[in-house]
C-alpha cells in the first residue's frame, strides 16, 4: 500500500510540474509566424471550417482538430491554447516514467530524468508546434509497442496505428521515419517469436490500420473533402519541399558533432554497453534489451537526420533524458568497477544540458527567436483582448515595451475596423489571430505565410497553379467581397496568384484594402469552369 501511495505521489508531482513548466514557457513571448497559427485554425475548425478545404495545409490537421475540441470544451483563450501542448508533454513524460518503471529503473532515478524530460520536451516552444507533436506522438507509439510486448495484450497492439496516424497528421517528418523504425523493430520482434503469436499480432495491426484508414475516409466524406485535395496538399506538395531540402543537405561533421554533443554523450554509454553485451552474450540479440536498443538506435539516427534537414530551431534535446534512462536500464545489470562514475557522468550530462537548454529555450526563448529580448519590456496581451489574458506580448521585431503596446493597439484598431465591415472578407496577415479577435471567419487561405514556399506553393513550384486555383475558388465559393492585407503583409502573396486588375485597391492607415471585382478574367474563367 505504501509503495502504491508513493508511486501516486511521484506521478502527481511529475504531472503538475510538467504542465506548469509548459504553461510558464507558453505565456512568454510571441513569434508571429508560428505562435498564433493553431490558435486561429483551431477557432476556424471549431466554427465549421476544415483544413485542405477552407485553407491550404501542408501540416498539422491533427493539431487543428484537437485544438478545436479543447476550445469547444473549455472556451477560446490563451490558457486553453497552451493546454494542448501541455497535455502531450504530460503524456510523453508519464509514459516514459511508466515504461522505465517496467524496465526496473528505481523511482528516484526515474523521477529525476523525467523531470529533466518535462523541461526539455514541449516547453522549448510552449505553444503547439508540428515538429513536437509529430515526434512526441511517434515516441509514444514506440513506447506502446514495448508496452504491448511486456503485457502481451492484443488491445495495446490495436492502439498503435491510430497513434502513428495522429503523429503523421501532425507532421509527415519525423513521424514517417519513426514509423519506419517501428516497422523494422516489429519485423525483428516477430522473427524471434512463435507463428501463432505473430499471426495474432499481425492480424490485430492490419485490422487496426484498416479501421483507422476507413475512419479518415468516412470523415472526409462527412466534411465533403476531396481526397485528391488532401493528397496534393499533404503528400505530393510537401514532397517537393522535401526534395529541395535533401538537395541542399550537406553533412557538416563539425555541426553534427558539436551541435548535438549532449545527445551523443547521453547515447554513448547505452551504445557501448549494448555492443559489449552483443559480443559477450550469446543470446543477447534475442533479449528485450537488445530489441529496445535497435529501436532507439534508429530513433537516434532518424531524428538527427530530421532535425538537420528542417529549417526550424533544434527541438530534439528531449532525447537526452530518454537516452540517459536507457543507459541506466542496461547499466543496472553490470557489476563494474567504475559503474558509479559512469552513472555520475550520465546524470551530470543530463543535469547540465537541462539547465543549459532551460536557459536557452525557456528563459530566453531561442526557439521563437527571442534570445536577445529583455522580457521586462513585454506588453500585457489582455490589452488586445481578454482571450490573451496572461500572455507576455513581446516579439523579435519589437524590443521596447512602448513598441509592443503600439503594435497591440494597431492590431486592436484593425480588429475594430474589420469587425465593422459587414462585407464577406478575407484577411491576410502574419498575425494569424483575426478570426479569433473578430469572432468570425476571416477565411485566410493558408495557416501561415512564409515567403520560402514552405507554407504553400510559390512561383517556380509545380503546384503553383494548384494553389492559384485553390485561392481563386475560395474567393468565388465564399463570395469574398473584400481582402485586407495587414501588418506589412507582402502583397505578392496575393498578386502573384490573382491579377491586380481583379481588385480596386485603397489604403487605410496601416493596411491595404482590395475590393474584389467579379468582372475580371481570373474570376470569370473559374466561374465558367475553364
pLDDT tens figures, 387-435: 999 999 999 887 788 888 999 999 999 999 999 999 999 999 989 999 9
- Whether the per-residue pLDDT at 528 is higher than 50: the answer is no
Predicted confidence (pLDDT) at residue 295 exceeds the cutoff of 90: yes
What SS3 class is residue 217?
Answer: helix
Radius of gyration of the chain (CA): 25
Q: Is the pLDDT of residue 253 over 60?
A: yes
Q: How far apart are CA 411 and CA 405, in angstroms?
A: 10
- Measured between alpha carbons, how far is 454 from 469 in angstroms, rounded to an integer? 18
Q: Which residues pair with 398 in a beta bridge?
A: 395
> Which DSSP symbol is given to 127?
S
CA torsion sign for 18, 19, 23, 24 is negative
Rounded Cα gap, residues 448 and 431, in angstroms: 9
Q: Could you give the 3-state DSSP secondary structure of residue 390?
A: coil
Tell me the mean pLDDT in the region 128-139: 97
- Is beta strand 379-380 parallel, antiparallel or unpaired with respect to 392-393? antiparallel
The SS3 assignment for 47 reads coil
- For residue 158, pLDDT beyond 90: yes
Percent of the chain with pLDDT over 90: 77
Say which residues have a Cβ less than 8 Å from residue 476's Cβ, sequence separation at least 6: 523, 526, 527
Q: What residue has cell string 526515474?
A: 110
Asked if residues 486 and 517 have their Cβ atoms less than 8 Å apart, the reply is no
Cell of 46: 471549431
Q: Are 126 and 22 in contact (CB under 8 A)?
A: yes
The grid coordinates of residue 76 equal 477560446
Count of CA atoms in the C-beta half-sphere (13 A) of 48: 4
- Provide the pLDDT for residue 60: 94
Cis-peptide, bond into residue 341, ω within 30° of zero: no
pTM attached to this predicted model:
0.95
Indicate the average pLDDT of the chain.
Answer: 92
**pLDDT the model gives residue 512:** 93
Q: What is the DSSP string of 310-371?
A: -SSPP-GGGHHHHHHHHHHHHHTT---TTHHHHHHHHHHHHHHHHHHHIIIIIIS-GGGT-T
The grid coordinates of residue 197 equal 503469436
pLDDT for 529:
45
pLDDT digits (tens, 9 = 90+) for 310-347: 878 899 999 999 999 999 999 987 777 888 999 999 99
The H or E element that residue 507 is part of is: strand 503-508
Grade residue 530 by pLDDT with cuts at 50, 70 and 90: very low
Give the integer Cα–Cα distance in Å for 249 and 268.
Answer: 25
* Per-residue pLDDT at 192: 87
* pLDDT at residue 164 is higher than 90: yes
d(CA 309, CA 245): 6
Whether the Cβ atoms of residue 523 and residue 475 lie closer than 8 Å to each other? yes
Evaluate whether 38 touches 83 at the Cβ level (below 8 Å). no
pLDDT at 163: 98
Distance CA(309)–CA(173), nearest Å, equals 10
Closest to 186 in 3D by CA, of 149, 155, 150? 149
Q: Are 516 and 483 in contact (CB under 8 A)?
A: yes
Q: What is the mean pLDDT of residues 460-488?
A: 94
Q: Is the pLDDT of residue 249 over 80?
A: no
Instruction: Give residue 525's pLDDT band: very low, low, confident or very high (50, 70, 90).
Output: low
Query: CA-to-CA distance for 338 and 43, rounded, in angstroms?
Result: 56
At residue 197, the pLDDT reads 84
Question: Distance (Å, rounded) from C-alpha 97 to C-alpha 113?
Answer: 9
Give pLDDT tens digits for 177-219.
Answer: 999 999 999 999 999 887 788 899 999 999 999 999 999 999 9
Domain residue ranges in the chain: 2-30+77-368, 400-527
Residue 56, SS3 per DSSP: strand
Amino acid at each position: 500500500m505504501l509503495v502504491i501511495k508513493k508511486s501516486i505521489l511521484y506521478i502527481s508531482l511529475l504531472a503538475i510540474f510538467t504542465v506548469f513548466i509548459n504553461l510558464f514557457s507558453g505565456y512568454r513571448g510571441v513569434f508571429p509566424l508560428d505562435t498564433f497559427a493553431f490558435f486561429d485554425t483551431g477557432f476556424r475548425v471549431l466554427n465549421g471550417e476544415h483544413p485542405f478545404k477552407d485553407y491550404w495545409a501542408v501540416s498539422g490537421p491533427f493539431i487543428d482538430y484537437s485544438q478545436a475540441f479543447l476550445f469547444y470544451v473549455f472556451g477560446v483563450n490563451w490558457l486553453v491554447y497552451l493546454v494542448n501542448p501541455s497535455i502531450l508533454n504530460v503524456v510523453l513524460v508519464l509514459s516514459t516514467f511508466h515504461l522505465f518503471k517496467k524496465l526496473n529503473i528505481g523511482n528516484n532515478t526515474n523521477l529525476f530524468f523525467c523531470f529533466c524530460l518535462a523541461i526539455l520536451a514541449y516547453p522549448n516552444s510552449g505553444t503547439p508546434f508540428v515538429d513536437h507533436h509529430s515526434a512526441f506522438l511517434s515516441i509514444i507509439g514506440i513506447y506502446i509497442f514495448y508496452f504491448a510486448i511486456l503485457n502481451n495484450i492484443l488491445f495495446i497492439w490495436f492502439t498503435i496505428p491510430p497513434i502513428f496516424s495522429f503523429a503523421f497528421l501532425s507532421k509527415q517528418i519525423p513521424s514517417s521515419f519513426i514509423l519506419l523504425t517501428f516497422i523494422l523493430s516489429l519485423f525483428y520482434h516477430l522473427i524471434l517469436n512463435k507463428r501463432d503469436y505473430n499471426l495474432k499480432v499481425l492480424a490485430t495491426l492490419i485490422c487496426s490500420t484498416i479501421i483507422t484508414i476507413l475512419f479518415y475516409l468516412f470523415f472526409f466524406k462527412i466534411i465533403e473533402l476531396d481526397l485528391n485535395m488532401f493528397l496534393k496538399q499533404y503528400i505530393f506538395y510537401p514532397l517537393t519541399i522535401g526534395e529541395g531540402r535533401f538537395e541542399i543537405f550537406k553533412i557538416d561533421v563539425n555541426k553534427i558533432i558539436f551541435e548535438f554533443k549532449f545527445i551523443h554523450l547521453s547515447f554513448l554509454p547505452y551504445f557501448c554497453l549494448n555492443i559489449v553485451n552483443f559480443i559477450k552474450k550469446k543470446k543477447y540479440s534475442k533479449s528485450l534489451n537488445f530489441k529496445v536498443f535497435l529501436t532507439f538506435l534508429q530513433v537516434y539516427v532518424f531524428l538527427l537526420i530530421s532535425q538537420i534537414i528542417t529549417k526550424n530551431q533544434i527541438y530534439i534535446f528531449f532525447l537526452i533524458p530518454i537516452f540517459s534512462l536507457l543507459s541506466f536500464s542496461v547499466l543496472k545489470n553490470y557489476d563494474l568497477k567504475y559503474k558509479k562514475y559512469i552513472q555520475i557522468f550520465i546524470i551530470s550530462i543530463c543535469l547540465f544540458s537541462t539547465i543549459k537548454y532551460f536557459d536557452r529555450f525557456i528563459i530566453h526563448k531561442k526557439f521563437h527567436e527571442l534570445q536577445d529580448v529583455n522580457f521586462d519590456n513585454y506588453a500585457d496581451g489582455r490589452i488586445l483582448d481578454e482571450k490573451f489574458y496572461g500572455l507576455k506580448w513581446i516579439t523579435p521585431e519589437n524590443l521596447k515595451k512602448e513598441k509592443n503596446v503600439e503594435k497591440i493597439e494597431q492590431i486592436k484598431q484593425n480588429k475594430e475596423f474589420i469587425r465593422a465591415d459587414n462585407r464577406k472578407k478575407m484577411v491576410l496577415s502574419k498575425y494569424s489571430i483575426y478570426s479569433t479577435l473578430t469572432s468570425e471567419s476571416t477565411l485566410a487561405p493558408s495557416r501561415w505565410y512564409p515567403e520560402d514556399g514552405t507554407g504553400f506553393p510559390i512561383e517556380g513550384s509545380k503546384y503553383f497553379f494548384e494553389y492559384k486555383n485553390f485561392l481563386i475558388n475560395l474567393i468565388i465559393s465564399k463570395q469574398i467581397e473584400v481582402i485586407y492585407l495587414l501588418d506589412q503583409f507582402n502583397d505578392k502573396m496575393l498578386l502573384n496568384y490573382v491579377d491586380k486588375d481583379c481588385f480596386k485597391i485603397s489604403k487605410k492607415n496601416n493596411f491595404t484594402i482590395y475590393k474584389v471585382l467579379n468582372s475580371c478574367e481570373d474570376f470569370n474563367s473559374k466561374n465558367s469552369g475553364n
